[in-house]
Structure 1
Amino acid sequence: MKLDINRAWTDALNLIQTNSGVVAIVAGVFFFLPYFALVLLMPDMAQSMAFEPNSDDPSVVMDQIMALYADVWWAMVLMIVAQVVGTIALLALLRAHDRPTVGEAIKIGAIGFLTYIVVMLLVYIGMGIAGGLIMGIAIASDITALAVILGIVLLVALIYIAVKLSLVAPVIGTDKVYNPFAAIARSWRLTKGNSLRLFAFFVLLVIALLVVSLVLGLIVALVFGLAGPEVAAIGAGLFNAILNAVYVVIMLGVLAAVHRQLAGPDTEAVTETFE
């Protein structure tokens, strides 16, 4: 089945609008609040990242980065947990039929959390090993052209795999597939024949969101900047937290719509049609 990008976008907006109430609750709890809390509880984090690189001693930069992560690792872990659980829960709420309650969706998110993490670990470890071997061969050959070619091939392969596995989260949240290998296989099957379309769709969507965020960011910075540095910092954090929640909702709405289109109607939906 060929993906209809226009239909996917329209369906995404309809799914979000139809479920706007519960979507707002989940997005607020799992995407807005954790991000905003991180900004308020760690005001020095941005300043810590704003060091000037020392070209003469790059190890100093790396030490600063590692020291920063050593201080905030627990917050990053909590953020990841909230993001993953919220992602699966939100996708469960965006189902076309048999929508769960918010509590049931959060339960699905909690159950699917481990599945999603295992999938990501398998992918990152696999790509890391494959990428290390390929780049090792390129470096060992000492041929610049070969290194460039293999680097390009590796990049294309990584993008291809990312697109093929883009529906893992909807498979977990919507289809309730909790076996990580089964989730990977189903996402791979659903995206078959639509990899280029999906890639183009995702790229256009990201570019559009980036442009909008840049324009709005400049306006917000100008408005809050007039009230002083402290207000500007809080205003920027609030704006970024809202933007984060909105963008996540849009991206997950798109994934839910794409999954719905490529997976076809639910069995339950077909049954209801003929009853």
Structure 2
Amino acid sequence: MKFDMGRAWNEATAMVGANKELLAVIAGIFIFLPNLALALLVPEMMIGPAEVNPEDPMAAFQAFYADNGIWFLLLGIIQSVGTLSLLALLHDRRPTVGEAIRTGLVTLIPYIAAQILLVLGLSIVLGVPVGVAAALGGPAAGVLVGLLAFVVFAYVMVKFSLVSPEMVIGANLNPITALRNSWRLTKGNSLRLFGFYLLLGIGVIVVGIVISMISGLFVAMLGQNTAGLLVGGALSGLIAAIWSVLIVCVLAAVYKQLAGPSAETVSEAFE
């Protein structure tokens, strides 16, 4: 089946409109509130590291993430449950919020397993050649092979972009099968999907930069106190929630288009 960008976008926005109240509840619980809490627990996230050595600017950021890694890990887990729960809401059988959250929790471990398999595979297939090229051919060879590896990385990520909807909407909790099915569903549409994701990603990045500047301005105006962090964290959490809902609906729309109608939809058509 040839992927239709316009149809996918229209179906994604229609999903947002048809399920906005339920989507807002889950996005608020799993995306907005955790981001707001993180802004209060890790204020450096909004204002940056306190001291940056001009001779080694990366050291401060490395220390920042080392000191606060547990919070970012916890945020990632919570948001993963939220993303999977959002996808569950878009199932054709239309579950309740409670059922969707239960689906998100049940799917979490298989989803993490699939991501670990993907990371390990990419590390071996891409990381090893880059390291060998840099060691044997010097920095120039490492950079050249690194650029080629980035192209392959982008291609692979497109091929496996439907793992989460395959697990939730397709009800397939086998990580290996989910990875394989995502690859199969995207066959013949990789370039179209890449272009679609690229346009969406550019929009996310541009809006994210603007919002970061605005939230940083609020923090600077209100001062590095609770009020400033609350406003900045609320703005950051709101945008994260909105984009999470939109991206989840896009993935659901892409999956449903390429996978075809579910058994529930087919049975309803003949009732």
The verdict on a shared fold, with TM-score over 0.5 as the criterion, is yes
- Whole-angstrom distance in 1 between the partners of 2:132 and 2:85: 42
- Whole-angstrom distance in 2 between the partners of 1:195 and 1:240: 32
Match of 1:169 in 2: 164
Once the two structures are TM-superposed, the CA of residue 246 in structure 1 deviates from its matched residue by 0.5
Match of 1:37 in 2: 37
Return the TM-score normalized by structure 2: 0.90
Once the two structures are TM-superposed, the CA of residue 8 in structure 1 deviates from its matched residue by 0.5
> Is the contact made by 1:164 and 1:191 (CA closer than 8 Å) also made in structure 2?
yes
Match of 1:260 in 2: 256
- Whole-angstrom distance in 2 between the partners of 1:73 and 1:149: 32
1:106 aligns with 2:101: yes
Pick the aligned partner of 2:245 from 234, 249, 252: 249
State the aligned residue count.
Answer: 270
- Secondary structure of 1:49's match? coil
Once the two structures are TM-superposed, the CA of residue 143 in structure 1 deviates from its matched residue by 5.8
Structure 2 residue identity aligned to 1:208: G
- Whole-angstrom distance in 2 between the partners of 1:85 and 1:215: 27
Match of 1:130 in 2: 125
Once the two structures are TM-superposed, the CA of residue 48 in structure 1 deviates from its matched residue by 5.7
- Secondary structure of 1:142's match? helix
1:139 aligns with 2:142: no
| 133 and 226 in structure 1: CA distance in 2 versus 1, 3 angstrom threshold | closer
Pick the aligned partner of 1:211 from 206, 209, 224: 206
Match of 2:26 in 1: 26
- Whole-angstrom distance in 1 between the partners of 2:128 and 2:42: 39
| 106 and 35 in structure 1: CA distance in 2 versus 1, 3 angstrom threshold | same
Pick the aligned partner of 1:86 from 82, 88, 93: 82
- Whole-angstrom distance in 2 between the partners of 1:148 and 1:217: 31
| 102 and 52 in structure 1: CA distance in 2 versus 1, 3 angstrom threshold | same
> Is the contact made by 1:54 and 1:61 (CA closer than 8 Å) also made in structure 2?
no
Once the two structures are TM-superposed, the CA of residue 175 in structure 1 deviates from its matched residue by 1.0
> Is the contact made by 2:110 and 2:173 (CA closer than 8 Å) also made in structure 1?
yes
> Is the contact made by 1:92 and 1:108 (CA closer than 8 Å) also made in structure 2?
yes
Once the two structures are TM-superposed, the CA of residue 25 in structure 1 deviates from its matched residue by 0.5
| 188 and 222 in structure 1: CA distance in 2 versus 1, 3 angstrom threshold | same
Which deviates further from its counterpart, 206-215 or 45-54?
45-54
- Whole-angstrom distance in 2 between the partners of 1:99 and 1:48: 42
Match of 2:64 in 1: 68
- Whole-angstrom distance in 2 between the partners of 1:67 and 1:210: 25
| Structure 2: unaligned runs, 5 residues or longer | none
> Is the contact made by 1:16 and 1:94 (CA closer than 8 Å) also made in structure 2?
no
- Whole-angstrom distance in 1 between the partners of 2:36 and 2:73: 15
> Is the contact made by 1:27 and 1:245 (CA closer than 8 Å) also made in structure 2?
yes
Once the two structures are TM-superposed, the CA of residue 112 in structure 1 deviates from its matched residue by 0.7
- Secondary structure of 1:31's match? helix
Once the two structures are TM-superposed, the CA of residue 224 in structure 1 deviates from its matched residue by 6.8
- Whole-angstrom distance in 1 between the partners of 2:246 and 2:260: 21
- Whole-angstrom distance in 1 between the partners of 2:219 and 2:144: 47
| Structure 1: unaligned runs, 5 residues or longer | none
| 66 and 127 in structure 1: CA distance in 2 versus 1, 3 angstrom threshold | same
- Whole-angstrom distance in 1 between the partners of 2:124 and 2:58: 26
State the identity as a percent.
Answer: 40
Once the two structures are TM-superposed, the CA of residue 221 in structure 1 deviates from its matched residue by 5.4
- Whole-angstrom distance in 1 between the partners of 2:23 and 2:145: 43
- Secondary structure of 2:188's match? coil
1:238 aligns with 2:238: no
Aligned-residue Cα RMSD (Å) equals 2.3
